[in-house]
């Protein structure tokens, strides 16, 4: 993966971190802030997963893709637990 994409992912993660810190104080006050917080947590998890995949070598990516295809044959849906470790 290109270094530009890695840099962009890291910047996105930092941006999400600052947004989460700002929303943390208002979680108890409004339901809207709570929903926004949860959306940002999911977006941040997606960026982290993409960044982890970008760090894999070519052989590791191939093996991961092969194992993912076997797993997806059982279930075509993408689960939220796929984004978290």
pLDDT tens-digit map of 30-69: 899 999 999 999 999 999 998 888 877 777 767 777 776 6
Mean pLDDT is lowest, of 21-25, 45-49, 70-74, for 70-74
For the chain, give the longest Cα–Cα distance.
Answer: 48
Write the burial class of residue 9 (CB in 10 Å: 0-12 exposed, 13-18 middle, 19+ buried): buried
Question: In which band, very low, low, confident or very high, does the pLDDT at 79 lie, cut at 50, 70 and 90?
Answer: confident
Write the CB contacts of 45 (distance below 8 Å, at least 6 apart in sequence). 83, 84
39 vs 41: CA distance, rounded Å = 5
Q: Report pLDDT for 54.
A: 81
69 or 28, higher pLDDT: 28
Write the CB contacts of 49 (distance below 8 Å, at least 6 apart in sequence). 82, 83
């Amino acid at each position: 993966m290109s270094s530009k994409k890695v840099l962009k992912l890291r910047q996105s993660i930092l941006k999400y971190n600052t947004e989460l810190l700002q929303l943390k104080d208002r979680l108890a006050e409004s339901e809207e802030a709570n929903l926004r917080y949860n959306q940002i947590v999911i977006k941040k998890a997606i960026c982290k997963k993409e960044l982890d995949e970008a760090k894999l070598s070519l052989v590791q990516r191939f093996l991961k893709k092969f194992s993912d295809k076997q797993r997806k044959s059982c279930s075509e849906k993408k689960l939220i637990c796929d984004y978290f470790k």
